[in-house]
Copies of this chain bind each other. A is one copy, B any other.
Amino acid sequence: MVRQNIKVAVDAVVFGYKDKALNVLLIKRNIDPFKDSWALPGGLVLENESLEQAVVRELKEETNVTIDYLEQLYSFGDPDRDPRNRVVSVTYFALVKPEHHAIKADTDAQDVAWFDVTELPDLAFDHIQILETAKKRLQNKLTYEPVGFDLLADKFLFSDLEKLYMTILQKVIDRRNFRKKILSFGILEELDEKISEGRGRPANLFKFNKKQYFKLKEEGFLFDIK
C-alpha cells in the first residue's frame, strides 16, 4: 500500500446576523503560512475525535463562540490548497444567534472578529471559495428550512425576519405576502410583548415554535419560501 501523508483539517464558516447584515466569524492567524491573514476558524483533526467534535473544539479554542446550528458543508482537497503540506479540509456551516455573538481570541488566533460578508478582507488559503460555497448554501437553506430563526434572537420582530431574508437572498420581498405566508405555517408564536425601537408604532415580538415545526415536519409539512 502506498504510504499516504495527507492531513485532515476542519474549517467552519460561522454566520451571524448583526446590524442588519450577514456577518461571518474570522480569526487572524498567528502562525505561518498566512501569518497575520484573516482566515476561517479551524484546524487539524485529532486522532480520536470525530469531524464534528473537531469543529466544535476548534471553534471553542479559537473563538469561544457558541454554535446554534451546525452541518457539514463540503470537503476541499486540491493538492496545492495548502502551500506546505497536503491538507484535505472538511468544512462546516454554522449559525449563531445574537445572544451568542460574544467572542474572544484564544490559543491559536491573535484576533477574532465578525466581518460583514460584503466587506471582507483577503482570506488565507482557499477560504474565500469555502465562504462562497457557504453563502450559496445559506441562501438555499433559507428557502426550504427555517434556519433563519437560528440567526435571530429567541424573541424577534417580524420585520427582523423580513430584513434577514431580504439581506441574505438579496431581493425585495413583499411585506404583506411574506407575513401571511410565514404565519400560515403555524410555526410562530405571537408573544404578548411589544417593543418600540426608536420611532414608529411598537412591534409585536414573535418566537419560533421549534416543537411545532418538527411535529408538522413529521406530518409532511414543507417549509418553503420563494
Contact = CB atoms under 8 A, between A and B. Distances in A.
Interface of A: 1-2, 4-8, 44-51, 72, 74-75, 77-79, 86, 88, 90
A45 B90 contact: no
Copies in the complex: 2
A47 B78 contact: no
A47 B86 contact: yes
Given A75-B51, A90-B77, A7 B7 contact: no
A64 B122 CA distance: 43
Contacts of A5: 47
A19 B79 CA distance: 40
Given A6-B7, A7-B6, A1 B44 contact: yes
Nearest to A49: B79
Contacts of A45: 4, 6, 77, 88
